Amino acid sequence: MKTKAAILREIAPERPYATSRPIRIEEVDLDGPQPGEVLVKVMGAGLCHSDLSVVDGSRPRPLPVALGHEGAGEVVEIGAGVRDITVGDPVVFQFSASCGRCTNCQSGRPQICLTHGAARAKGELMGGGKRIRDSSGQPVNHQSGVSCFAEYVVVDRGSVVRISRDVPLQTAALFGCAVMTGAGAALNTAAVRPGQSVAVIGLGGVGFSGLMGAKMGGAFPLIAVDINPEKLGLARQFGADHTVDPSEPDAIERIKDLTDGGVEIALEFAGAVRALETGYKILRLGGSLVTAGLAPAGHDFPIPAADLVTREISVRGSYMGGCVPVRDIPRFLEAYQRGEMPVDRLIAGTVGFEDLNAGFDKLAGGSVIRQILTPHG
């Protein structure tokens, strides 16, 4: 079938992207679903910093690539062998499908499935090959097996989670990346417990989700850290007990004063080495730094080796919030419906295909947290 999709053919020049227009909207040929795959009509897709990192080259991917990894839609066709999902089901995409058979899947870590990781590196689906071809018949790579900046997509069955019809799909889109990654880092990886002091560093869509997750876990005091005063104000509305601008000269000491010597858990979502350094410096004895931010490839984060023992410090990465999507997406959606995770307040508005480049300018400039692409207008 023919469908429109957002294609990146080369690493973007300098912003503004609204002028250089690195993301092209093309009509492509989309193959039907093979066994174990589904065809989905995309109803909403979030503009995320992970997409921006592909556009600006800080996280390189094989090109050309059909962009998008955070979204939701409706199943319109199923491939052979798919029996637990039907046409018409509302679904959320998740960007790390799992095979269920590799050693990581068998050890309870499907978010870092080896089979999907190998397919993602080649821009393919887990079933092998690519389902998207451009107007000249050349194959186009898939982004994280999803590529949901499109009207329709074909994905592995494991790349979608069926959800309730009670949640608007444009809001549900955020649960496939921002919410899973942020709230999961707080509740799964860091396992925040009531009364633990927590700092959340970097207030994008993932960071705010981490803030909400830490609040759900009972963090106290809960400290939001960001250089943007408007985001700090919003963080207070979301339940932060204190807010700190890390660019202020006394920021580190202020956080230590607020927490009687340092936080037990620092959650880093900014994707920058300086943010990691801030998180490390504010830890108390025995504290843990958990990062779900994606620093640019090739950047190093040095730490004093002896601290790992003498201060019993731990540093942990969190990919996709350590989530099992079929377990965690529904429970986070229920928290949203109870009012505990008002992620819809993070959405600045919707954009069409024609505004996608300008939308990434806004995201890069920090003036918005989340925008939702509506491929069908």
- Can you give the CATH number for the domain in which 361 is found? 3.90.180.10
Residue 190's alpha-carbon distances to 183, 208, 267, in angstroms, are 10, 16, 8
Do residues 27 and 152 share a domain?
A: yes
| Residue that is written with structure tokens 């080259």 in the block | 57
Q: How far apart, in whole angstroms, are the C-alpha atoms of residue 84 and residue 41?
A: 18
Q: How far apart, in whole angstroms, are the C-alpha atoms of residue 93 and residue 158?
A: 9
Do residues 189 and 296 share a domain?
A: yes
pLDDT of residue 175: 98
pLDDT of 295 higher than 90: no
pLDDT of residue 170: 97
Last residue of a domain, one of 302, 318, 334: 318
CA-based nearest residue to 264, from 306, 207, 222: 222
> Does residue 324 contact residue 162 with C-beta atoms inside 8 Å?
no
pLDDT of residue 120: 94
125 occurs within a structural domain: yes
The alpha carbon of residue 268 and the mean position of all alpha carbons in its chain are separated, in whole angstroms, by 13
Geometric angle at alpha carbon 209, from 116 and 189, rounded to 5°: 55
Do residues 185 and 214 share a domain?
A: yes
Take residue 283 and report the two structure tokens written for it: 């830890």
Question: Looking at the 3D structure of the chain, how many domains does it have?
Answer: 2
pLDDT of residue 253: 98
Rounded to two decimals, the pTM is 0.95
> Does residue 203 contact residue 226 with C-beta atoms inside 8 Å?
yes
| Residue that is written with structure tokens 């050693």 in the block | 103
> Does residue 63 contact residue 54 with C-beta atoms inside 8 Å?
no
Please tell me whether residue 242 adopts helix, strand or coil conformation. strand
At residue 288, φ and ψ (nearest 5 deg) are -130, 135
333 occurs within a structural domain: no
pLDDT band at residue 152 using 50, 70 and 90 as cut-offs: very high
Do residues 40 and 155 share a domain?
A: yes
149 occurs within a structural domain: yes
Q: Please give the average per-residue pLDDT across 318-332, as a whole number.
A: 96
Q: How far apart, in whole angstroms, are the C-alpha atoms of residue 229 and residue 216?
A: 24
Do residues 7 and 154 share a domain?
A: yes
336 occurs within a structural domain: no
Q: Please give the average per-residue pLDDT across 80-102, as a whole number.
A: 95
Helix axes 229-237 and 205-216, enclosed angle (nearest 10): 30
> Does residue 112 contact residue 1 with C-beta atoms inside 8 Å?
no
pLDDT digits (tens, 9 = 90+) for 128-148: 999 999 999 999 999 999 999
Do residues 14 and 162 share a domain?
A: yes
Q: How far apart, in whole angstroms, are the C-alpha atoms of residue 272 and residue 209?
A: 18
Residue 255's alpha-carbon distances to 200, 221, 240, in angstroms, are 11, 10, 13
Do residues 153 and 187 share a domain?
A: no
Do residues 59 and 189 share a domain?
A: no
Take residue 326 and report the two structure tokens written for it: 């079929």
Q: Which residue range(s) make up the domain with 239?
A: 179-318
Do residues 172 and 186 share a domain?
A: no
CA-based nearest residue to 212, from 186, 177, 181: 186
pLDDT digits (tens, 9 = 90+) for 11-40: 977 899 999 999 999 999 999 999 999 999
pLDDT of 149 higher than 90: yes
pLDDT of residue 60: 83
| Whole-number average pLDDT of the chain | 96
82 occurs within a structural domain: yes
Classify residue 342 by burial, with Cβ atoms within 10 Å: 0-12, 13-18, 19+: middle
Q: Please give the average per-residue pLDDT across 340-360, as a whole number.
A: 97
Do residues 29 and 116 share a domain?
A: yes
pLDDT of residue 12: 79
- Total residue length of the chain: 377
Q: How far apart, in whole angstroms, are the C-alpha atoms of residue 216 and residue 276?
A: 23
Q: What is the DSSP string of 118-164?
A: HHHHTT--TTSS--EE-TTS-EEEESTTT--SBSEEEEEGGGEEE--
Do residues 279 and 364 share a domain?
A: no
Do residues 219 and 305 share a domain?
A: yes
254 occurs within a structural domain: yes
Instruction: Count how many Cα atoms sit within 13 Å of the Cα of residue 17 in the half-sphere of its side chain.
Output: 22
Q: How far apart, in whole angstroms, are the C-alpha atoms of residue 184 and residue 318?
A: 8
Helix axes 251-258 and 273-281, enclosed angle (nearest 10): 40
Element (H, E) at 38: strand 37-46
User: Looking at residue 194, which CATH number applies to its domain?
Assistant: 3.40.50.720
> Does residue 147 contact residue 41 with C-beta atoms inside 8 Å?
no
Query: Which residues share a beta bridge with 294?
Result: none
250 occurs within a structural domain: yes
pLDDT of residue 294: 86
